[in-house]
A and B are shown apart, each in its own frame.
Chain A
Amino acid sequence: MKRDIILCGVGGQGILSIATVIGYAAVESDLYLKQAEVHGMSQRGGDVQSHFRISDKEIFSDLIPFGGADMIISVEPMESLRYLPYLSQNGWVITNDKPFNNIVNYPELEEIHAQIKKIDNHILINADDIAKEIGSPRSMNMVMIGAAAKHLGIEFSSLIDGIKFIFGKKGEEMVNLNIKALEAGKAFAEKFSK
C-alpha cells in the first residue's frame, strides 16, 4: 500500500490541518509517513504545497517524483492545476471549486473548471458551502478529506480518530462538527462519482 498525495492551496488556508488528520490516521494504522512542508515567505498568501507520502514500506524521498502522485487534494481550484506535473497517469484531482482570489490576473473561473474537468479522475466540490451548511465554515478542510476518503487507502474510522485527536482539546462540539464535515464530504464524493 502506498499513497503519494500533493496537498495544496494558498498560504493561510490551513492545508496542514489536512496533513495532520491524515497523518495521525496513517501512523495509527502503522504506516510509514513522510511529509514535506513549505515554511517561510510563501505562507503570506502565496501558493503553498505539501508532499504527503504514506506507505507500508520504508519511504526514501521526501519529495514525490513528477508523474508519481496518486492524488492532488487542493483547497483552491487554480492551485489544483499548478501541480499537474506531479500527477500520475490515473491519478485523482480532488479540489474545492471556490476560488481564493488575491491576485489581479486571476483567470475566469469557468476556464479553471473546464481544465479540471478534462482530467479523467476528478472531484470538484463546493467545500466552503458544504461546511457553511453544517454550521462550521472553518471545517472546509475536513470536507476535503471526506471527499478524498475513498481513495486514501485508510479506514474511514481512522480518519474519525484523527479528528478526535486533533480537535479533542477544543471540545466535543468541535469534534462533532468536524466529523459531520468529513461525512458530508464523503457523501458528496459518492454522489459526484456516480
Chain B
Amino acid sequence: MEKLLFLGDEALAQGAIDAGMSGIYAYPGTPSTEILEHVQKSKVAQERNIHREWSANEKTAAESSLGMSYAGKRTMVCMKHVGLNVAADCFMNSAITGANGGAIVAVADDPSMHSSQNEQDSRIFAKFAMVPTFEPSNQQECYDMVFHAFEMSEKHQIPIMMRLTTRLSHSRSGVVTKSILAENELKLPKDSRQFVLLPAIARRRYKMLLDNQVKFEQESEMSPFNKYIDGKDKSKGIIACGIAYNYLMENYQDKECPYPILKISQYPLPRKQVEKITSECDEILILEEGAPMIEEMLKGYLNNSLNIKGRLDGTLPRDGELNPNLVKQAITGQKTEMNLIPEEVKGRPPQFCKGCGHIDVYTSLNEVMAEYGDGHVLADIGCYTLAALPPFEAINSCVDMGASITMAKGAADAGLFPSIAVIGDSTFTHSGMTGLSDAVIEKTNMVVIISDNSTTGMTGGQNSHALDRLVGICEGLGVEKDHITRINPLPKNREAMAELMRKEIAYNGVSVIIPTRECVQTLKRKLTKK
C-alpha cells in the first residue's frame, strides 16, 4: 500500500495494472490519452509485458480488446467520447457477445468541449447498449473501481463502461494503491458460440442481456460507490452523479448538508434508492456532468409526476460543465459575486508552433486557392485544424476523423472544383484510407494533401502508424504513382509546393501530395531525451 499522486487517467491505468490487466488498447484523444501513456511508462507493465501499443483507431482498439477478453484475459480499451462513435459497432455488439476475461471500456467525456467537437455523454451510449457503467467522483475511486469493474465483468460476462470527464481525467490527487493481482491464464469461453452473433445466437444472447438488467440493477443497489446520505430537511433531495458530487460537497466543506443526498457512481440506476429519495423529498435537484440523462429518465416525456429540477428547467445550464458555483446557485438561488475580467484582456487562441511544417503547407495552399476563391478546402482533426483561425483562415470543415477526404469527394461529386482535402498522417491511418479508396475507385477529381508531421501531434506526440508508410499505402490503395508526391514543407520550398498543388489540381483524377517534416515539438522531446 502506497500513496501516490495521480491524474484521474493515471489512477485508472494504475488500477488496471494492479487488478491484473493483460492488455490495454487505445487511440490518443484528449482527455483520455494519459491512460495508455501511464501503462507505457510503468515498469510493472514492462516486466509483465502488458500489451500497451497504440491502435490505428478506436474501432481496431475496441475489437482487439474484445479479442483479449475472448481469450480470457483482463483488458481495457480507452478513448475520448467521440472515439466511442468510431468504436460503436464493436461496443454495441460486445454487449450482446458479452465478455470472457474482464473487459473495461474507458471513455473520457469532454463537457464544455475543451478539446472536442461536441459534448456527447457516454452514459447514454452505455444505457443504449445496456452495459453497466461506473462513474468515479475522484481519483481514488478511479483506482478502486477498476477492481470492482473487472470482477463484475467476469461475474456477469459483460463489458463495463468506465466514464470519466475532463476535470477528473486531468486533475491530480493522492491515491492509495493496493497490492497487485496475478493476471488471468489464457482460457477460452465455455460456450464456443458465445461470440458468434449469427441471428439465431444473437437473439438468444440478446434475451440474456435483457434478463441480466435485473442483476446489474442489484449490483448498483449494493455498490459501495452509490451512497444514500440522509438529511433532516426533506424539502429538497439531491441526486449527484460522478464528479458533480464533489461540486456539491465543496459547498458543505464546513457544515452538514441539510438535504438527503444520493451519490450515483454506478449504473444502471439503483432503483430502490432513487425511489426512496423521490418519495421522501418534495423536490429533487439532479446534478449530472454532461447531458440531463437521469433528469429525463425521472421526469418522463410528459413531466406529470415528480418535482424535478436540473438542466431541463433552467435551474442549471443545459450545456457545459458544472462547477461549485453553479451547484451553489442551483441549491440556494444565490449568485456568486465575482470580479470581472478587465476589457484589456484579449483572447489568446492556440496557434501553430514556430517552425511548424503545417505553416508552410497552408502558406502555399492559400496562395494557390486565392486563384479560385474561398470554400474549396475540406480539412480534418489535428493541429492543422488551427488553420481555421487567423491568420490562415484556410479551411472550411472539421467534422470527424477522416471526413476531409470523403467530404472533399462528395463535394467533387457535386461539381466543386477544385476540391481539396487536408488531413494529417495519423488521422489518415485512423480513418482516411477507406475514403481514399472510394475516391480511387471512382477516379474522383480531387487533391488530397496529407500534411505529414510524422507523429500524433495534437495529443502530445504519440507514434504515428503512418510513419514512413504513406507512399506505400497510397500506392496500395491504387493512387497512380505519378500523382503521389512527397515534398519537404520548408519556407524555401513554398513556391515549389504551390506549383505542385497547381499541377495536381489540373490533373483530372485523384492526386495525393505528402508534405513531410517532423513535428517541432516531437523533435524537441526526442532531442531532450537523448
Please tell me if the beta carbons of B324 and A63 are within 8 angstroms of each other in the complex: yes
Stretch at the interface among B18-26, B349-357, B417-425: B349-357
A81-B344, A103-B346 as given contacts; A44 in contact with B338, CB under 8 Å: no
Which residues of B have CB within 8 Å of A189? none
Contacting residues of chain B (481-510) with chain A, CB-CB under 8 angstroms? none
Please tell me if the beta carbons of B344 and A40 are within 8 angstroms of each other in the complex: no
Please tell me if the beta carbons of A27 and B31 are within 8 angstroms of each other in the complex: no
Whole-angstrom CA separation of A68 from B337 in the bound complex = 10
A106 contacts chain B at the CB level, 8 A cutoff = yes
Per-residue interface assignment for chain A, residues 6 to 35, with 1 indicating a CB less than 8 Å from any chain B CB and 0 otherwise: 000011100000000001000100001111
A40-B31, A41-B115, A44-B352 as given contacts; A62 in contact with B171, CB under 8 Å: yes
> Smallest Cβ distance from B49 to chain A, in angstroms?
27
Per-residue interface assignment for chain B, residues 353 to 370, with 1 indicating a CB less than 8 Å from any chain A CB and 0 otherwise: 100000000000000000
Please tell me if the beta carbons of A78 and B350 are within 8 angstroms of each other in the complex: no
Per-residue interface assignment for chain A, residues 40 to 73, with 1 indicating a CB less than 8 Å from any chain B CB and 0 otherwise: 1111111100010000010111110111100000
A36 contacts chain B at the CB level, 8 A cutoff = yes
Q: Name, among B5, B253, B348, the residue most crowded by chain A CB atoms within 10 Å (CB to CB).
A: B348
Interface size on A, residues (CB 8 A): 49
A112 contacts chain B at the CB level, 8 A cutoff = yes
Which residues of B have CB within 8 Å of A61? 246-247, 249-250, 323-324
Please tell me if the beta carbons of A37 and B170 are within 8 angstroms of each other in the complex: yes
A39-B30, A40-B31, A44-B353 as given contacts; A84 in contact with B341, CB under 8 Å: yes
Please tell me if the beta carbons of A78 and B341 are within 8 angstroms of each other in the complex: no
Which residues of A have CB within 8 Å of B174? 27, 32-33
Which residues of B have CB within 8 Å of A82? 341, 345
Which residues of B have CB within 8 Å of A35? 171-173
Which residues of A have CB within 8 Å of B250? 60-61, 65
A38 contacts chain B at the CB level, 8 A cutoff = yes
Please tell me if the beta carbons of A23 and B458 are within 8 angstroms of each other in the complex: no
> Smallest Cβ distance from A42 to chain B, in angstroms?
5
Of all chain A residues, which has the CB nearest B173?
A: A34
Please tell me if the beta carbons of B325 and A66 are within 8 angstroms of each other in the complex: yes
Whole-angstrom CA separation of A60 from B173 in the bound complex = 11
Of all chain A residues, which has the CB nearest B457?
A: A44
Please tell me if the beta carbons of A78 and B171 are within 8 angstroms of each other in the complex: no
A27-B5, A65-B250 as given contacts; A36 in contact with B350, CB under 8 Å: no
Which residues of B have CB within 8 Å of A23? 5, 172
> Smallest Cβ distance from B312 to chain A, in angstroms?
23
> Smallest Cβ distance from B246 to chain A, in angstroms?
4
Whole-angstrom CA separation of A10 from B386 in the bound complex = 17
Whole-angstrom CA separation of A81 from B342 in the bound complex = 7
Per-residue interface assignment for chain B, residues 33 to 69, with 1 indicating a CB less than 8 Å from any chain A CB and 0 otherwise: 1100000000000000000000000000000000000
Please tell me if the beta carbons of A40 and B336 are within 8 angstroms of each other in the complex: no
A87 contacts chain B at the CB level, 8 A cutoff = yes
B458's partner among A33, A40, A57, A62 (CB-CB below 8 A) is: A40
> Smallest Cβ distance from B287 to chain A, in angstroms?
12
B340 contacts chain A at the CB level, 8 A cutoff = yes
Which residues of B have CB within 8 Å of A157? none
Please tell me if the beta carbons of B324 and A46 are within 8 angstroms of each other in the complex: no
Which residues of A have CB within 8 Å of B7? 37
Which residues of A have CB within 8 Å of B342? 81, 84, 115
B383 contacts chain A at the CB level, 8 A cutoff = yes
Contacting residues of chain B (145-202) with chain A, CB-CB under 8 angstroms? 167-168, 170-174
B459 contacts chain A at the CB level, 8 A cutoff = yes
B336's partner among A42, A63, A65, A105 (CB-CB below 8 A) is: A65
Which residues of B have CB within 8 Å of A107? 344-346
Which residues of B have CB within 8 Å of A85? 338-341
Q: Name, among A45, A78, A106, the residue most crowded by chain B CB atoms within 10 Å (CB to CB).
A: A45
B contacts, CB < 8 Å to A: 5, 7, 30-31, 33-34, 114-115, 167-168, 170-174, 243, 246-247, 249-250, 253, 323-325, 328, 336-342, 344-353, 383, 386, 390, 458-460
Interface CB pairs A-B, < 8 A, 26: A35-B171, A36-B167, A36-B171, A38-B170, A40-B458, A42-B114, A44-B386, A45-B348, A45-B352, A46-B350, A60-B249, A60-B250, A61-B324, A62-B168, A62-B173, A63-B167, A63-B323, A65-B328, A67-B339, A68-B324, A78-B346, A78-B348, A81-B342, A85-B338, A85-B339, A107-B345
Given contacts A44-B352, A66-B323, 19 further A-B contacts (CB under 8 A): A12-B353, A38-B170, A39-B460, A40-B31, A41-B458, A42-B350, A45-B348, A46-B349, A62-B168, A62-B246, A65-B323, A66-B325, A66-B336, A66-B338, A68-B324, A78-B346, A81-B344, A84-B338, A115-B344
The 4 closest A-B pairs by CB, nearest first: A40-B30, A40-B115, A46-B350, A61-B250
